[in-house]
């Protein structure tokens, strides 16, 4: 494993230590670095989407459907909950997406008062295009790590994620399989 290269976070932590700031400087530095990496990846992905002229909330909604797997469908209430938007905001999104030909709606066979929102072929193609254009940033960043470092990082982050409550934006919690046992 390589010796860590000093970075901009070290200078901040050194100033905090000099000022007598409470807390574990290692933890502060670690989560500051995680935040920097996360923001850099998100900023890259937002630039890609903006270059296509597609609003980020459109892509988020299409991704929410895509993550569900075939047939890429959900009710608007489920989407609103998952994306943490109001029902009214989701209704407006769905209308715009239908008008753009990215999703279609159909009556819910279990409840005639509800509709099911599903990706159209056009919506699926756009989602796949965005995924391809956004791909690479993670791989580029991980190129700075060797295979052992990647494995250790993955294991450590899995433990941290397991300590968090489930994120509704990722959809329903599926039973997991322990890849490490």
pLDDT tens by residue, the chain, 181 residues? 566 788 888 888 888 888 887 888 888 889 999 999 999 999 999 998 999 999 999 999 999 999 999 999 999 999 999 999 999 999 999 999 999 999 999 999 998 889 999 999 999 999 999 999 888 888 888 999 999 999 999 999 999 988 988 876 665 555 444 443 3
Contacts of 95 (CB under 8 A, 6+ apart): none
- pTM, full prediction: 0.72
How confident is the model at residue 3, as a pLDDT? 65
pLDDT at position 171 = 56
Q: What is the CA radius of gyration of the chain?
A: 21
State residue 1's pLDDT score: 58
SS (H, E, C) the chain: CCCCCCCHHHHHHHHHHHCCCCCCHHHHHHHHHHHHHHHHHHHHHHHHHHHHCCCHHHHHHHHHHHHCCCCCEECHHHHHHHHCCCHHHHHHHHHHHHHCCCEEEEEECCEEEEEEEEECHHHHHHHHHHHHHHCCHHHHHHCCCCHHHHHHHHHHHHHHHHCCCCCHHHCCCCCCCCCCC
Q: Which pLDDT score, from 0 to 100, does residue 70 have?
A: 94
pLDDT of residue 2: 66
Q: What is the pLDDT of residue 15?
A: 86
Strand order in the sheet with 111-119: 73-74, 111-119, 103-108
pLDDT score recorded for residue 20:
83
CB 122 within 8 A of CB 57: no
Q: How far apart are CA 165 and CA 100, in angstroms?
A: 35
Q: Tell me which residue has tokens 């905001």.
A: 89
pLDDT value for 8: 87
């Amino acid at each position: 494993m390589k010796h860590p290269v000093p970075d901009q976070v070290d200078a901040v932590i050194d100033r905090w230590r000099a000022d007598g700031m409470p807390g574990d400087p290692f933890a502060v530095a670690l989560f500051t670095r995680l935040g920097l990496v996360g923001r850099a990846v998100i900023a890259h992905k937002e630039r890609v989407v903006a270059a296509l002229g597609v609003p980020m909330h459109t892509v988020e909604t299409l991704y929410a459907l895509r993550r569900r797997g075939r047939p890429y469908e959900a009710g608007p209430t489920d989407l609103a909950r998952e994306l943490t938007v109001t029902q009214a905001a989701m209704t407006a999104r769905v209308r715009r997406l239908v008008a753009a030909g990215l999703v279609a709606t159909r009556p819910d066979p279990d409840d005639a008062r509800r509709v099911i929102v599903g990706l159209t072929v056009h919506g699926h193609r756009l989602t796949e295009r965005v995924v391809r254009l956004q791909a690479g940033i993670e791989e580029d960043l991980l190129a700075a790590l060797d295979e052992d470092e990647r494995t250790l990082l993955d294991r450590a982050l899995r433990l941290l994620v397991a300590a968090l409550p489930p994120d509704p934006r990722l959809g329903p919690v599926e039973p997991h399989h322990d890849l490490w046992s």
